Amino acid sequence: EPEVTQTPSHQVTQMGQEVILRCVPISNHLYFYWYRQILGQKVEFLVSFYNNEISEKSEIFDDQFSVERPDGSNFTLKIRSTKLEDSAMYFCASSQYRAGNYGYTFGSGTRLTVV
């Protein structure tokens, strides 16, 4: 069964450093997403991406965050200057279509620890 692949599985970074989280969505999917989950809390939407541009973003997704699809396969989330509160699991997801009649496929996540 096709999978969404995320790397690395765990990243430790110092506060103020830039990090890039990588994702390879399912190949025929057109819609891409990032979510995050702080330990013990809900899964929160960050951003959706379609046709090489952001289509929706949450309040969490401020100027410190950016997304990119640098080639035909990768989808990245960059945090420019990490804060302690950015420590969380980050999940990438993809979907073939946007409509409510389709589900998402999520990756296994990257655990980001900011120290």
Partner 1 sequence: DAKTTQPNSMESNEEEPVHLPCNHSTISGTDYIHWYRQLPSQGPEYVIHGLTSNVNNRMASLAIAEDRKSSTLILHRATLRDAAVYYCILRNGSEKLVFGKGMKLTVNP
Chain positions contacting partner 1, by CB under 8 A: 4, 31, 33, 35, 42-45, 48, 50, 55-56, 58, 89, 91, 93, 98-101, 103-109
Closer to partner 1 by CB, 16 or 103: give it: 103
Q: Which of 67, 54, 63 is nearest to 21 (CA)?
A: 67
**Helix or strand or coil: residue 86?**
helix
| H/E run at residue 44 | strand 43-50
Least distance from C-beta 23 to partner 1, angstroms? 11
Q: How far is the CB of 102 from partner 1 (least distance, A)?
A: 8
Rounded CA gap, 73 and 27, in Å?
7
Q: Which is nearer to partner 1, 15 or 65 (CB)?
A: 65
